[in-house]
Structure 1
Amino acid sequence: MNGVRNVDIAQKRKHATYHLYTFTVSKLISTFGSSVYAFGISLFVLSLTGSAASFAVNLICSILPRTLLAPVAGFAADRYSKKIIVILAQVASMASVSGLLLYSLIAGLSLPSIYITTALVAASSQFASVTFSSSIANLIDPDRIQRAMAYNQSAVSLASIGGPVIGGMLFGFVSMEVFLLIQVTAYLTAVLLESTMNFRLFTNRDSEVAPEDQERMLSSLKKGRVYLRNNRVISVIVSSAIGINFFFSALQVGLAFIVVEELAIPSEHYGFIEAMIFVGMLAASVYFSIRKEVQYPLLFSKWGILILAVQLGGIGLPLVFDMSQWAATSYFLILMFCFGFTNVCINTPIGVMLQKDVDEAYRGRIFGLLESMAMAMMPLGMLIFGLLFDAVPAQRVTGSSAICLIVLVCYLMRPSVIREAYPEKKVGLRKEVGVR
């Protein structure tokens, strides 16, 4: 009997290893394709209209569907077959781009057709993203979830670095029809890879359908919110993520404003500065793929957020101290690398914790609510910080944002919450950020 069980475990680990690399390649292809499409189509809109407003509308068409549909995608992930949802979502993205390609061959590209395609791709991509996020613990054995999360982050980082480069090259050297055909091929490849994966390899449920099968969507989403509210630690993680995304907007708005407008650093140097964020993320992803699993992820991430807050405040330092352009550029290159590295140090342990601690029957709804609420904060944050940077000295905005983020995380992740998450340990010992 033990021999049969050992064979079964060995087979599962073998399949999990296949999932680990297939998932990474699939995520890299689909994320890279989406990044290339977003950058290339944005350049096309700008070249077609020369209007920043048209560019902004295309951006809204990309963000709004993802924000609104994330909870719906989470509900679907909990109720229906995850594999079918992922495949159908990728097929929908492929069909949307194929439709735009066919339309361009018949009537030529137009702004309405681009906006519609962008919205459809954003909607279908959100279903694939939320479902994949809630499926990692079903695809990978528990001992390698951190590695899977690190590989996932590596794919995102590589796509963020290489997507604009490849998108710009393709936009400059091939026709828009060839550009769209490449995107269709990328989605098709991802579908073929995902169709070979077993999304129920590690599952605690008897079927693909959640216990509340007969409930309506709104009732099911309400149960997800109740589950979140009753789980204090998970609720703290979600609240912290919302706060981080809001204050992260200060970086997105303030970095360009300070570097380009206040310090007059050349725009090509700014491109390198921004790219260093993703280089730092890639470096941290590699680190987490080879290190042992973080033993106390909530506490580990708390210190990461505090360090991130200090780095956020550090964006305004070149405005306080007199720096040469070369010194300021070097400072920002190092700071953004550290910012990207710290970001992954926060997200990876928390992602592993959510995969393991959230009940499988609610995992899709929790990830859907998390993505929806976090994404909703970013446009609001960009608007607020955009107004603040115009009205208040930039160094005061970044410094105040850093202080607010420190106060927020110290309150949300106060010692009583840490004790509730890890009742077996004593708070305050330096060894508490250990590994197992």
Structure 2
Amino acid sequence: MPDTWKKNITLFLISQTISMLGSALTQYAMIWYVTLTTQSGMMMTLSTLCTFLPQVFISLFAGVWADRYNRKVLIILADALVALSTLGLAIAFMSGYRELWLLFLVAGIRSVGTGIQVPTVNALIPQLTPEDKLMRINGINGTLQTFTMLVAPAVSGALLASSTVEAAFFVDVATAAIGISCFAAFVAVPRPIPAENGRDTVLTDLMIGVRYTLSHPFVRGMLIFYGVLMFLVSPAVFLTPLLIARDFADEIWHLTANELAYSAGATIGGFMISIWGSWKDRTKTIAVFTILYGLLSIALGLSPWFILFLVCIFCVGITVPFITTPFIVALQERVEEGMMGRVFSILQIIGTAAMPLGMVLFGPLADIVNIRILIVGTSVVTLFTAFLLRRSAMQSPS
């Protein structure tokens, strides 16, 4: 790999961070707008479905596109789609048209862009990075993402408190323009190793990717673990704002403090994993920190005071990079480059399907059952996913 890889990966990560800042800011603004205007578990479920289900559909094709076509162009087009849809929403809101169906529609369009971008970015990183640097680069990328998530809720909360929701939407458009320009102008992407059967149809290529994933014991076990985990964490991920609004206070600063506490913890965790690099056995790292995540989430669900709730969510945030970063790196190390896009698209499909499925069950239940019970119950079951992962890993050939 040429010596210019450091320059390329640095500029790539900077461009993605700038773009992601605006996207995260807008995502918080949209979630909080729905939360505070409806305080409804059903509306939160609809919002979640619109945010994730389109990713499932488009991810069926995004992985094949990432293995066939120029990954740089795909990422730029996906970013542009998200920005243009947000611009349309901002103009509609400024005109006084603030119907929820329009917000849900734009959330769906943004989801399509994300469904293309995420597997393509995960496939591009090992294309730009030497294999022995993947853990560090993914750790740095995770730290940048969580730092962005630390800044985004504060900025979003400040905008909502001092201005209007469409101000957050316009920031998203501006950051996307800057990120796209930086990536397009300054990042040189080497040609990938072409996948086999490059003349097959998209559907044929997709089925080749599915067969590869199902026939690879390690990859199959990792994806099963991921799907179960994403289903179980959906109440803690999506229902904590509703829990705060119901049990503590329905004010913007409470929601902002929640997101800041989590993102601060995740930023510290991402920095730690980028320095340490995890155990050589990636699944050991994932399993240990999945257990810690489950225990801390139980404490989160039982917290009677908001300050204790924030301490728990901060500690939960620390554990997450120790699960996600080794997980991504383990797949990047094991999967052939020509199959990388398809495997990560299948991962995207599983994750984006599992969370909405979780909310289909837990969202309506949140209007009947105390959210604390849902969080504690799913966290107890989460503890057992760690044992599922270790068992699968030990049965897989190295």
| The two structures share one fold, judged by TM-score above 0.5 | yes
Residue correspondence of structure 1 range 154-233 to structure 2 within 5 A: 154-173=143-162, 179-195=168-184, 196-200=186-190, 203=192, 205=193, 207=194, 210-233=195-218
SS in 2 for 1:413: helix
Cα 1:179–1:229 change in 2 (3 A) is closer
Residue correspondence of structure 1 range 41-52 to structure 2 within 5 A: 41=30
Which residue is 1:321 aligned to? Answer: none
TM-score by length of 2: 0.85
Instruction: Select 1:151's aligned residue among 133, 136, 140.
Output: 140
Which residue is 2:268 aligned to? Answer: 283
Equivalent AA in structure 1 for residue 209 of structure 2: G
What is the Cα deviation at residue 137 of structure 1?
Answer: 0.2
Which residue is 2:396 aligned to? Answer: 420
Which residue is 1:65 aligned to? Answer: 54
Which residue is 2:110 aligned to? Answer: 121
Structure 1 stretch displaced more, 87-96 or 364-373: 87-96
8 Å Cα contact 1:238/1:370 also seen in 2: yes
Higher relative contact order (CA 8 A, sep 6+): 2
Cα 1:278–1:181 change in 2 (3 A) is closer
1:130-181 deviation line (CA, Å, top 9, x unaligned): 2111111001122221122122222321232222322233345556776544
1:250-269 deviation line (CA, Å, top 9, x unaligned): 323665676665xx444555
What is the Cα deviation at residue 275 of structure 1?
Answer: 3.0
Identical positions, percent: 21
SS in 2 for 1:154: helix
CA distance in 1, matches of 2:154, 2:279: 34
Structure 1 stretch displaced more, 231-240 or 36-45: 36-45
What is the Cα deviation at residue 287 of structure 1?
Answer: 1.0
Cα 1:42–1:398 change in 2 (3 A) is closer
CA distance in 1, matches of 2:241, 2:109: 30
Larger radius of gyration: 1
CA distance in 2, matches of 1:372, 1:56: 18
What is the Cα deviation at residue 293 of structure 1?
Answer: 5.5
Cα 1:17–1:395 change in 2 (3 A) is same
Structure 1 stretch displaced more, 189-198 or 339-348: 189-198
How many pairs are equivalent?
393
8 Å Cα contact 1:304/1:345 also seen in 2: yes
Cα 1:98–1:342 change in 2 (3 A) is closer
Cα 1:136–1:332 change in 2 (3 A) is same
CA distance in 1, matches of 2:205, 2:273: 35
Structure 1 stretch displaced more, 296-305 or 226-235: 296-305
1:371-400 deviation line (CA, Å, top 9, x unaligned): 111121112223333455666677765554
Residue correspondence of structure 1 range 219-258 to structure 2 within 5 A: 219-252=204-237, 255=240
CA distance in 2, matches of 1:366, 1:388: 33
What is the Cα deviation at residue 300 of structure 1?
Answer: 1.6
Equivalent AA in structure 2 for residue 418 of structure 1: M
The runs of 5 or more residues in structure 2 that have no matched partner are none
8 Å Cα contact 1:77/1:364 also seen in 2: yes
Which residue is 1:383 aligned to? Answer: 360
Determine if the alignment matches structure 1 residue 92 to structure 2 residue 81. yes
8 Å Cα contact 1:19/1:140 also seen in 2: no
8 Å Cα contact 2:44/2:363 also seen in 1: no
Note the aligned Cα RMSD (angstroms): 3.3
